[in-house]
Amino acid sequence: RDIAAGILAASVKGRTGERYILGGHPMTYQAAFQLFSDAAGRSKKARTAPAWLVRTSGRAAGLLGAVTGGEYDVNSASAEMSILPHHFSSAKAVEELGYSFRPVEDAARDAWEWFTANAYA
């Protein structure tokens, strides 16, 4: 809902050629996955792996895919991307478009309810 409202605001208030990040609360991958697990009513604890293990797993999956002709969710590119620091800010969208976003816990819970109501989970 917040993203849809942001898109509509960009169509009305956005400056031509500009780009706006319609994100929300800054979180680590671990915190995000824990939030998703909690929203889904799962009791799993989100954990992190050391960079060397992630990198090795990505390379191993890439090699296995080359041998079997398959493609796996984890590969060297996804592994490398997952260990890079990422930071995105919605400050420009907040300032220029009036973009706002709800508490992240509410958004995660609402999304999970929508996915289950529509047979996606």
**What is the chain's alpha carbon radius of gyration, rounded to the nearest angstrom?**
18
pLDDT value at residue 48: 87
Instruction: Give me the chain's average pLDDT, please.
Output: 93
Percent of the chain with pLDDT over 70: 100
Q: Please compute, for residue 117, the number of CA atoms within 13 A of its CA located in the half-sphere on the CB side.
A: 6
Split at pLDDT 50, 70, 90, the class of 110 is very high
Query: pTM here?
Result: 0.69
27 residue type, one letter: M
Question: Residue 90: pLDDT above 90?
Answer: yes
CB within 8 Å of 24: residues ≥ 6 apart: 2, 90, 101, 104, 107
pLDDT value at residue 86: 87
What average pLDDT does range 84-93 have in this prediction?
Answer: 93
With CA atoms as reference, report the closest residue to 59 among 86, 78, 42. 78
pLDDT digits (tens, 9 = 90+) for 6-53: 999 999 999 999 999 999 988 888 899 999 999 999 878 888 899 999
pLDDT value at residue 46: 80
What average pLDDT does range 105-117 have in this prediction?
Answer: 93
